[in-house]
């Protein structure tokens, strides 16, 4: 097993330069090479003749390059075309947005390529999906793997490195599935799977390998989850209320609890009253009222004689929670404190002292709460908001500051329940699927950059009617590499030229904490009409009078982020709107924008996002290890995932040291060590 962790640099045919290239692909050791699976294959035995090409077909051909031309479409897309000839005729191959290939595609060279045939001007042309230049030495494999590459690395070099590793190291790879279990699940052994994913002889070999490797990834993921479970099953704190604090907090709420909120509160309170520590995930759409639920859980904890800690990933969100808690606990004797990296030393020391002796009942903060010098008199509840932004270790460190306190982790990123059960198999799950009364749908419309005047006219009309506006940009300052609207330049343009009659503000992550807070306060007090900002406002900003959200270059954002940004408006009585602007080039970008226009339902958007991007990008978080999935697809392999989850709770791996190393290699630094 140790040999699989060897540095890739010392493999025959690699060396320092090639090693740096492989590092850019996330490959640092032998294990990484074995799991650097092909993104496609070229079947040299199934090539079509040019004179038989039919529109709509996906084909592979072998031909000679007669010449190349390059051009640029009106929307900025680069188009590279190569004229190809075989013994039966001539056709054109087309590559989009790959202008650098002009230096690779040389006249007179032979090429294998695979792509979809289209008809252009009465002639067939191939939109290329995969290609490979044919050298003087003929490769004998009928099916050639096509790998993800980086600059300076070609397919032949990558294949040679993979072949060297397979020949020299594959025998070291352990199979954690016993033979009888493999037979029961109709899975091949792990070494055959790894060999056949890189060098399949036929379709049957490939699908057999894919099934085993998908199961392997899902099983490792579940073993990681089980071994590092947040659920301790330890004896916890049975919370028994001593006063009417929960009722008082309910009386301070701005609205009556929805049915969904009442249901999850019953679930949470039942957990808190039991003798086993609570580990529960609370899902809720943007604006569903998760903070209210957290406040009531904190009230129950304090009423039972213990302290509650609420941890958020950003200072803005932390401050928002602190302000909310002050409102919810107004008129009570509950002491609430805020602790972030921006807290001054003197104030921090006072808070730490009060926390340690129990004078502070509820502490709200950022990562600052997990620092070593933070001590609690009696920590009974931890609430972790936007939990996907924290790692396993960070969540565990906060909980370790008490004697098995209850834990409530919250997310405003709706996750389809089947996926949530896979990802959070160690947590109980509660869902708020109902918005508070009075929340109106937010009409959403896409307007291309050519319609900017129409957008600005609408902004002017809204501000004149007393509304406030967010305009979100993907960058802080102009970038030479990306033609994106930058917050700073847009601020200059709007404040000086377009809207000199209005007050325009600027907010971004490079500002100091006190500057950011001052700008937010000015916006809340309606001293700013139009706030130019970045995604820093994605969470933690609550300005009821803000009713128009404009998102520049919307194609650059994921659906979850677009939905979160849209959720910053629609919080008051005024009808709110969301305008998406940009210049989408890909089908995926168009699908995201259409989905935003179609629905305000975060759970429906989550389903669509999962279809479009797959689970790794959908979650967008490192600690889940989803970015390490090379084969498994949590949507297509749901049954396989459920089986892996079941087996992970029963399988015995005899040597924890082997499993530790295995999980380390697979999930890098994203997990805690297994004891033993």
pLDDT for 144-169, tens place per residue? Answer: 888 888 888 888 889 999 999 999 99
- The predicted pLDDT at position 391 comes to 60
Q: What is the pLDDT of residues 188-246, one digit of tens each?
A: 999 999 999 999 988 899 999 999 999 998 888 877 776 655 555 567 899 999 999 99
Confidence category of residue 675, pLDDT binned at 50, 70, 90? very low
Residues of the chain above pLDDT 90, percent: 45
Contact present, 556 and 585 (Cβ < 8 Å): no
For residue 264, pLDDT beyond 70: yes
CA 668 – CA 661 distance, rounded (Å): 10
Greater confidence, 390 or 554? 554
Strands 428-432 vs 279-284: parallel, antiparallel or unpaired: parallel
pLDDT value at position 393? Answer: 66
More confident residue, 425 or 591: 591
pLDDT, tens digit, for every residue of 570-603? 888 889 999 999 988 888 889 899 999 999 888 7
| DSSP-derived pairing of the beta strands 468-472 and 530-533 | parallel
Q: How far is CA 399 from CA 37, 236, 382, in A?
A: 38, 12, 7
How far is residue 243 from each of residues 148, 164, 332, 378, 457, measured CA to CA in Å?
62, 70, 11, 18, 55
Q: Confidence band (pLDDT; 50, 70, 90) for 643?
A: confident
The angle subtended at Cα 352 by Cα 349 and Cα 358, nearest 5°, is: 140
Dihedral angle sign, alpha carbons of residues 213, 214, 215, 220: positive
Lowest mean pLDDT among 285-289, 443-447, 544-548, 624-628: 624-628
Q: What is the DSSP string of 11-32?
A: STT-HHHHHHHHHHTT--BHHH
pLDDT for the residue 416: 66
Query: How far apart are the C-alpha atoms of 593 and 446, rounded to whole Å?
Result: 7
Higher per-residue confidence, 672 vs 386: 386
pLDDT, tens digit, 9 for 90 and up, residues 65-102: 999 998 887 666 789 999 999 999 999 999 988 887 88
pLDDT-wise least confident of 117-126, 176-185, 212-221, 482-491: 482-491
Nearest to 82 by CA among 137, 145, 133: 133
Separation between Cα atoms, residue 343 and residue 324, nearest integer Å: 19
Q: State the burial class of residue 338 (Cβ atoms within 10 Å of its Cβ: 0-12, 13-18, 19+).
A: buried
């Amino acid at each position: 097993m140790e040999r699989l962790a060897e540095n890739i640099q010392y493999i025959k045919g690699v060396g320092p330069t090639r090693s740096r290239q492989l590092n850019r692909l996330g490959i640092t050791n032998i294990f990484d090479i074995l799991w650097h699976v092909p993104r496609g294959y070229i079947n040299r035995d199934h090539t079509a003749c040019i004179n038989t090409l039919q529109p709509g077909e996906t084909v592979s051909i072998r031909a000679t390059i007669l010449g190349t031309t390059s051009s640029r479409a009106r929307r900025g897309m680069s188009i590279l075309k190569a004229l190809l000839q075989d013994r039966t005729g001539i056709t054109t191959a087309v590559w989009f947005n790959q202008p650098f290939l002009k230096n690779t595609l040389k006249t007179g060279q032979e090429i294998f390529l695979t792509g979809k045939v289209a008809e252009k001007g009465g002639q067939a042309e191939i939109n290329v999906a995969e290609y490979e230049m044919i050298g003087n030495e003929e490769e004998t494999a009928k099916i050639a793997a096509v790998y993800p590459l980086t600059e300076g690395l070609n397919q032949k070099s990558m294949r040679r490195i993979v072949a060297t590793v397979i020949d020299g190291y594959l025998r070291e790879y352990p199979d954690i599935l016993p033979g009888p279990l493999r037979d029961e699940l109709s899975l091949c052994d792990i070494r055959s799977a790894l060999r056949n994913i890189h060098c399949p002889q036929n379709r049957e070999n490939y699908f057999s390998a894919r099934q085993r490797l998908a199961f392997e990834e899902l099983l490792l993921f579940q073993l990681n989850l089980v071994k590092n479970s947040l659920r301790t099953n330890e004896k916890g704190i049975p919370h028994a209320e001593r006063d009417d604090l929960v009722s008082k907090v309910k009386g301070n709420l701005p609205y009556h609890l929805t049915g969904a909120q009442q249901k999850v509160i019953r679930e949470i309170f039942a957990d808190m009253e039991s003798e086993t520590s609570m580990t529960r995930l609370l899902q809720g759409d943007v604006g569903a009222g998760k903070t209210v639920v957290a406040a009531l859980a904190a009230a129950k904890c304090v009423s039972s004689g213990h302290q509650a800690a609420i941890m958020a990933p950003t200072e803005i969100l932390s401050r928002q929670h602190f302000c909310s808690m002050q409102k919810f606990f107004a008129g009570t004797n509950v002491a609430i404190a805020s602790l972030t990296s921006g807290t001054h030393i003197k104030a921090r020391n006072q808070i730490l002292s009060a926390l340690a002796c129990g004078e502070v009942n509820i502490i709200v903060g950022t990562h600052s709460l997990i620092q070593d010098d933070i001590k609690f008199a009696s920590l009974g509840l931890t609430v972790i908001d936007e939990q996907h932004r924290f790692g396993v270790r960070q969540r565990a460190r906060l909980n370790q500051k008490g004697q098995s306190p209850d834990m409530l982790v919250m997310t405003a990123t709706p996750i389809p329940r089947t996926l949530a059960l896979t990802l959070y198999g160690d947590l109980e799950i509660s869902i708020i699927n109902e918005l508070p009364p009075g929340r109106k749908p937010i009409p959403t419309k896409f307007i291309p950059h050519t319609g900017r005047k129409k957008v600005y006219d609408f902004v002017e009309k809204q501000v004149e009617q007393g509304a406030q506006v967010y305009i979100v940009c993907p960058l802080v300052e102009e970038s030479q590499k990306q033609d994106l609207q930058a917050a700073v330049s847009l601020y200059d343009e709007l404040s000086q030229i377009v809207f000199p009659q209005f007050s325009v503000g600027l907010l971004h992550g490079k500002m100091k904490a006190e500057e950011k807070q001052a700008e937010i306060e000015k916006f809340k007090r309606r001293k700013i009409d139009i706030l130019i900002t970045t995604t820093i406002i994605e969470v933690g900003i609550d300005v009821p009078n803000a009713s128009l959200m404009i998102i520049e270059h919307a194609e650059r954002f994921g659906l979850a982020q677009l939905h979160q940004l849209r959720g910053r408006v629609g919080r008051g009585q005024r009808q709110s709107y969301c305008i998406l602007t940009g210049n989408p080039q890909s089908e995926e970008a168009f699908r995201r924008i259409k989905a935003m226009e179609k629905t305000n339902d975060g759970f429906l958007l989550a389903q669509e996002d999962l279809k479009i991007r797959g689970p790794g990008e959908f979650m967008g978080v490192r600690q889940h290890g989803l970015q390490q999935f090379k084969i498994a697809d949590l949507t297509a392999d749901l049954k396989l995932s459920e089986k892996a989850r079941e087996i992970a709770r029963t399988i015995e791996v005899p040597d924890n040291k082997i499993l530790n190393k295995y999980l380390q290699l697979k999930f890098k630094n994203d997990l805690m060590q297994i004891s033993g």
